[in-house]
Amino acid sequence: MEFQEMLGKRRAINFFDPNRDVDEATLRKAFEEGANAPSSFNLQPWKVIVLRDPVRKAALRKLASNQPKVTEAPVVLMILADRDGWKEGNETWKKRFETGFKPDQREWFAATTKTLYGGSPEASQAFATKNAGLFAMSFMYAASDLGLQTHPMDGFDHEGVRKEFNIPDNYWIPMLIAVGYAKPGLEILPKAWRQSYDDMVIKTY
């Protein structure tokens, strides 16, 4: 699909076809294409919990304002933003370091990532959230290109979800994403208002 076309076609789909599954190969492809997203130092501080099990999806729906798409979509993703993703001991950090740097750069890399992202809880939170958000967006475009529909959601009880799914404290949950195919016959309304260039730019120098 042309990128221009996809920008218009990607929509937050409210009603999914519960009878049409997402095959594993297509889902994997969307993940791996989505992982082309940029991230701070390419640290990729995100992980994902994939829900296909109807019982687990029903438990999640209860904590997500009872949104029908949580159980209708064949797949629901919990995007996890890793607030520890800048730390030297972190597994993804290590992989990133080993595949991109020389051993004698370790001290410099550890100190730099700590200075930038470990200075305060807010800095770690911002680091995790912005990068996981970029992955989520990139995933949604990759999914659209593969013919899937998605729906991002932050209407859920964050701490309730953390408890129900035993999510460790280092992860914050920026959003859930329902993934599947639109319910047949679903009327998709035109895209809602978007800011123009002039709306968005508050100052030029």
Ligand X SMILES: Cc1cc2nc3c(=O)[nH]c(=O)nc-3n(C[C@H](O)[C@H](O)[C@H](O)COP(=O)(O)O)c2cc1C
Choosing from 54, 100, 119, 155, the residue that interacts with ligand X (CB under 6 A) is: 155
Choosing from 6, 110, 153, 182, the residue that interacts with ligand X (CB under 6 A) is: 153
Q: Does 126 bind ligand X (CB under 6 A)?
A: no
Of 76-84, 88-96, 115-123, 146-154, the window that binds ligand X (rule: CB under 6 A) is: 146-154
Q: Does 154 bind ligand X (CB under 6 A)?
A: yes
Residues 157-176 that bind ligand X (CB under 6 A): 175
Distances (CA, A) of 125 to 13, 131, 186: 28, 10, 38
Taking the alpha carbons of 57, 62, 64, 65 in that order, is the dihedral positive or negative?
positive
Of 32-40, 42-50, 147-155, 197-205, the window that binds ligand X (rule: CB under 6 A) is: 147-155
Structure tokens at 143: 């999914």
Minimum separation from the CB atom of position 188 to ligand X (A): 8
Q: Does 143 bind ligand X (CB under 6 A)?
A: no
Strand partners, 176: 78, 153
Q: Does 8 bind ligand X (CB under 6 A)?
A: no
Closest to ligand X by CB, 152 or 160: 152
User: Exposed, middle or buried: residue 91 (CB in 10 Å: 0-12, 13-18, 19+)?
Assistant: exposed
- Asked if 10 and 140 touch (Cβ cutoff 8 Å), the reply is yes
Position of tokens 């009880």?
A: 157
Q: Does 11 bind ligand X (CB under 6 A)?
A: yes
What is the DSSP track for 148-199? -EEEEE--S-HHHHHHHTT--TTEEEEEEEEEE-BPTT---PPPPP---HHH
Q: Taking CB under 6 A as the rule, which mask of x and - marks residues 49-68 in contact with ligand X?
A: ------------------x-
Check residue 42 and report its DSSP letter.
Answer: G
Of 17-25, 37-45, 79-87, 153-161, the window that binds ligand X (rule: CB under 6 A) is: 153-161
Beta-sheet strands, E only, within the chain: 46-51, 75-82, 149-153, 171-180
Minimum separation from the CB atom of position 117 to ligand X (A): 21
Minimum separation from the CB atom of position 152 to ligand X (A): 4
How far apart CA 131 and CA 127 sit, in angstroms, is: 6
Select the residue whose beta carbon is closest to ligand X and give its number: 155
Residues that bind ligand X (CB under 6 A): 11-12, 67, 152-155, 175, 191-192
